[in-house]
Structures are given as C-alpha cells and as structure tokens.
Amino acid sequence: MDQIDRFFLLGQCKVNEHSSIKCIKKSPDEENMQKLTKIVNPGDPHTTYVLQEIIGKGGFGIVYKARNEHTKKMVGIKIIKLKKPVKEEVLNEVIVMRENRHPNLVNFLDSHVVEDNLWIVMEFLGGGTLCDIIINTVMRERQIAVVCREILQAIAFLHSRGIIHCDIKSSNVVFGMDGSVKLIDFMTCKHIETVKKCLSVMGTVYWMAPEILYGIPYDTKVDIWSLGIVVTEMVSGELPFLSETYFFDYQWMQLTNKELRTKDNKTISLVLQDFLNECLELNTDKRSSAENLLMHPFLQTDENISLIKNLIRLAKRKTRIRN
C-alpha cells in the first residue's frame, strides 16, 4: 500500500472535536514532582493574584484572567490539576516557557504549586485566539500573510533550539489587542537534541502530520504540516472538526485538481497556493523548513501586526452579540 492510499484509508477513522493522541513514556511520579518543585516559586499565589473570569479551557487545565494585586496589571493564569503520576507534559509547559523567550511566544511570568494544582502565570493577551477570528471574520490574504509570518517566527525559533511544538493549531495562536501574534501551549513539545527523529504520537488529530499518524519517525517538519492546516482554516473560514473529512480535504483537492476557496467563495492567489504546497507536502524531505518558508514570496509584505487589529475588534463584537 503506497503512502497516498494509507493516507486516505486513515481518513475513514472517526474522531471527535477534542480528540488528541498522546503516547509519551511516563517518568516515575516522584522524579517528575521533584523536578517540578525545584523550578516553581515558593509561596501562596493567592496573596498576589486575584482570579477573575475563565478565558480558556483545555485538556490539561483552565486559563483565568487575573489581577496582580501588587502591580494592578492583568495576567493570564493556567491552573493544571496535578494527577498521579505527574506527567512529563506538565514539566514541559513550565520548562519550555521559562527557558525560551521570544516576541512570538507567550511571555512566562511565574509558577507555583498550590496543594495539587500547578499555577502558571503568563502575560495576559486580550485579543482572543485565531480560532475566534476564523469563525467570526473573513481574512484577506495580506492578513493571513502577517499571521503566518508571526507564527513561523515562533516556530523557527523553537526549531533552532531543538524543540518541536507538536500542537500547532488555531486555538493555540493568541493575539494582543495591539495585533501581536503569539504561540501558546507547550505541553506536547518534544525535544530532539538526543534523537534524530521521534516516534511518540502527540498532538491534535486534525492538525497532525501524516507521518505521525503512520507511525513513521518524524522531526520538526510536523509543525510545518500543522501550519498548513491552520492556513487552510484562515482561507476557508472553517475549523477542521466541522467536517470529519476536513483533515484530508487539502490532499484530496490536490489529487482532483480542485481549488481551495475562501469563505466568500473566491479562489486563492498562485503565491498563496504555492505557500500551501510547501507546507502540505507528503514527502517530508521536500516539505519546507520554517526558515525557508520565512523567505517565501507570500510572506514578503510591508504590512505589520496593526493590520490584525480590526479583525480582533470585529471578532470580539460578534462574540458579544452572539452571547
């Protein structure tokens, strides 16, 4: 069975909106808890932070908007229930955030263990997620280019440090009200400094690269595939879980010569089509790297992040009306 046949056969499997596959070798609970205790700050965060409304939920925890009582500034706090055994993903979240600073990664501020909960304090980004913008607006190509450029800068930085994000998706891209674009959620990150290619299955299925699903050794190129799926979201205005077959739609379009169309039923430009081809290439040797994609003509624009501000406002307005 060739690679394409396996790809479409796999498409018969049904998964739900929140399906994620993670097979990571667990370390002993005591060892992980000791590591965690050493890297968090002592003290009770309740004396510093006042939790307000919930602004996000995920498989590992809840994110709150909170106020620092000393500085009066708003922060985001992710609270993770520490289950036994303490998983390596929990350590990943803290370690990757603490040790990797970049303008396109959410800024780590503090961390605490409170009873059986881990508190991770980070900068507050009030612009919502890329998922919100995709659902509530129509994104033009120059706006898509700016968002892609900012995401790729974060991906290229992580890759340069030997880190695969492994869960690039629209809900893991967040915005500041100034239009700044930042990548979040580092629990599924994989370090590749000790191995050439990885086999652990991790990520969210709809954005997951085919080589992960096939059980083929993979590397940093999986993040590029996931970015390609995010681009198709921005173009079409649809989230993958709205259709069981969406996960495979782009390759189907390639094989049948159908065109990817925008939310308002327009065809995309040749330069954007080429950018997508570079991301969604089944052959990993031919799939582009983050550094090379940053030089792609599609991203060579003078536009800056301020171009995104109107989309953020529109998405927030529509969300308020709907609620």
Rounded-to-10 torsion of CA 173, 101, 34, 201: 40
Examine residue 19 and state whether it is found in any structural domain, yes or no.
no
Does the bond joining 85 to the residue before it have cis omega, within 30 degrees of 0? yes
* Residue 255 confidence (pLDDT): 42
Residue 47 main-chain phi, psi, to 5 deg: -75, -15
Closest CA to 130 of 170, 185, 169: 170
* Residue range(s) defining the domain that contains residue 73: 29-123
Q: Considering only the C-alpha atoms of the chain, give the largest distance between any 2 of them, rounded to a whole number of Å.
A: 62
Closest CA to 58 of 90, 25, 33: 90
Domain of residue 314, CATH code: 1.10.510.10
Examine residue 7 and state whether it is found in any structural domain, yes or no.
no
Q: How far, in Å, CA of 247 to CA of 52, rounded?
A: 36
Q: Name the domain boundary from 79, 103, 123.
A: 123
Q: Name the domain boundary from 105, 123, 141.
A: 123
* Residue 110 confidence (pLDDT): 94
Q: Is 74 helix (H, G, I), strand (E, B) or coil?
A: strand
Number of domains in the chain: 2
Are 239 and 313 found together in one domain? yes
Instruction: Measure Cα distances from 230 to 33, 82, 223 in Å.
Output: 35, 31, 11
* Residue 196 confidence (pLDDT): 57
Signed CA dihedral, 41, 47, 53, 59: sign only: positive
DSSP 1: -
pLDDT (tens digit per residue) in 238-274: 876 555 454 455 554 554 445 677 777 778 999 999 9
Signed CA dihedral, 96, 102, 104, 107: sign only: positive
Count how many Cα atoms sit within 13 Å of the Cα of residue 235 in the half-sphere of its side chain.
22
pLDDT (tens digit per residue) in 79-131: 998 877 677 778 888 999 999 999 999 999 999 998 889 999 999 999 999 99
Q: Are 293 and 224 in contact (CB under 8 A)?
A: yes
Are 51 and 173 found together in one domain? no
Domain of residue 92, CATH code: 3.30.200.20
Are 207 and 317 found together in one domain? yes
Catalytic residue ranges: 167
Are 291 and 190 found together in one domain? yes
- The full 3-state SS of 19-70, as one line of letters, equals CECCCCCCCCHHHHHHHHHHHCCCCCHHHCEEEEEEEEECCCEEEEEEEECC
Examine residue 16 and state whether it is found in any structural domain, yes or no.
no
Are 197 and 57 found together in one domain? no
Residue 68 structure tokens: 């620092």
Q: What residues contact 27, with CB distance under 8 A and at least 6 apart? A: 85, 88
Are 90 and 196 found together in one domain? no
Examine residue 4 and state whether it is found in any structural domain, yes or no.
no
* Residue 34 confidence (pLDDT): 82
Give me the helices (H) in the chain, please. Answer: 3-10, 29-39, 88-99, 130-136, 141-160, 210-214, 221-236, 246-256, 270-279, 290-293, 309-322
* Residue 256 confidence (pLDDT): 43
Are 88 and 147 found together in one domain? no
| DSSP-derived secondary structure for 165-191 | -----GGGEEE-TT--EEE---TT-EE
Q: Is 272 helix (H, G, I), strand (E, B) or coil?
A: helix
Tens-digit pLDDT profile for the chain (323 aa)? 444 444 434 444 444 444 454 544 544 567 878 888 888 998 899 999 999 999 888 767 899 999 999 999 999 999 998 877 677 778 888 999 999 999 999 999 999 998 889 999 999 999 999 999 999 999 999 999 999 999 999 999 999 999 999 999 999 999 999 999 999 999 888 887 645 566 666 667 788 888 887 888 889 999 999 999 999 999 988 876 555 454 455 554 554 445 677 777 778 999 999 999 999 898 999 999 999 999 999 999 888 888 899 999 999 888 777 66
Examine residue 198 and state whether it is found in any structural domain, yes or no.
yes
Q: What residues contact 213, with CB distance under 8 A and at least 6 apart? A: 10, 201, 205
Signed CA dihedral, 213, 215, 216, 220: sign only: positive
Within 10 Å of residue 167's Cβ, how many Cβ atoms? 24
Instruction: Specify burial of residue 272 (Cβ count, 10 A radius: 0-12, 13-18, 19+).
Output: buried
